[in-house]
Amino acid sequence: MGTIIIALIMFLALVTIHEFGHFIVAKLSGIKVNEFAVGMGPSIKSSQKGETKYSLRALPIGGYCAMEGEDEESNDPRSYDNAPAGKRFLTILAGPMMNLILAIIIFTIVVFNTGTSTTYVGGFAKDSSAKKAGINIGDQIVKIDDKNVNEFTDISKILSDYYSKNDSKEPIEVVAKSSDGNIKSYEIKPIFKNDIPLLGITSKMRNVGFFESIGLGFKETWRNIKMIFSILGMLFTGKLSFGALSGPVGVVKEIGNQAQNGAMSVLYFLSYISVNLAVFNLIPFPALDGSKLFTNIYEMITKKRVNKKIEEKVTVVGFVILISLILIITIKDIFTLF
């Protein structure tokens, strides 16, 4: 029950900060905002300030920024639909950008409190293939598949690249340097979790100062963005099955796993989900922010508006597809629990 509450709070926070991005830029752009809501469903409390109603709603599963003329016809000169394409573009872009800003801030907090990873082994996961092969805590991972390991994150990248081209049963060469300076080569068969190859090691952490942690917060956000696009590429090329995706149930389960490792692990996962939400919304698929960004760019280039009725119909189709996909993934996640 505690995990579900944490998940709802996290999801509510991510959606609220996303919608606040739309809200604040809409206000700055002179676009009329009819309502800013935290939560969905029946209103618990609301307050009218000027032209905007601010409401707290019963279901902590989302929120919204209702702009005049965004999803309906409006003759109001300050409606979203009547705003210049550039202002509409910035207003929509602000949602994903707020999620990225939140991710940078939280990653910075996590790195400042936990330190940054190194290429030295700090511990082992359960059933670690690296431990079984003979690698010890304190060893430095030097090379994998004859490729230099300069950062701990290089390990997952090299493994993914290797097993996208080779059979999962094949071992991979891992070169490690022990604490006494001896260098040894190991043939290791990684364990696979959701089609992702893992050596089953954790990194030895290095303490960092405040200003370095800010830089690392940006760096970690960028690394996660690249990783998400890499995963999307693997999904569409068939190198990774759609079974590796997780829906709401899978996310709740993972939050429970992270909660066992402490608050910083939960915060890191929150940042990761925030980056996911930002990147996912930037995809130019109907019903996502990316589709509106695309149509606004099209208008800025061609000076022509996309037909509103066609756009609405395409958005409905996209929404149905997204909901169907979420339901399928959720059913898959439920079955994996048993």
Question: Could you tell me the CA-to-CA distances from 336 to 75, 126, 132, 241, 252 in Å, in that order?
Answer: 51, 19, 27, 15, 13
SS (H, E, C) the chain: CHHHHHHHHHHHHHHHHHHHHHHHHHHHCCCCEEEEEEEEEEEEEEEEECCEEEEEEEEEEEEEEEECCCCCCCCCCCCHHHCCHHHHHHHHHHHHHHHHHHHHHHHHHHHHHHCEEEEEEEEECCCCHHHHHCCCCCCEEEEECCEECCCCHHHHHHHHHHHCCCCCCCCEEEEEECCCCCEEEEEECCEEECCEEECCEEEEEECCCHHHHHHHHHHHHHHHHHHHHHHHHHHHCCCCCHHHCCCHHHHHHHHHHHHCCCHHHHHHHHHHHHHHHHHHHHCCCCCCHHHHHHHHHHHHHHCCCCCHHHHHHHHHHHHHHHHHHHHHHHHHHHHHCC
The two three-digit tokens of residue 49, written as one number: 């300030």
Query: Is 19 in the active site?
Result: yes
Considering 19, 35, 70, 220, which one is annotated as catalytic? 19
Region of 115 please: left (phi>0), alpha (psi -120 to 50) or beta.
left
Would you name the residues annotated as active-site residues? Answer: 19
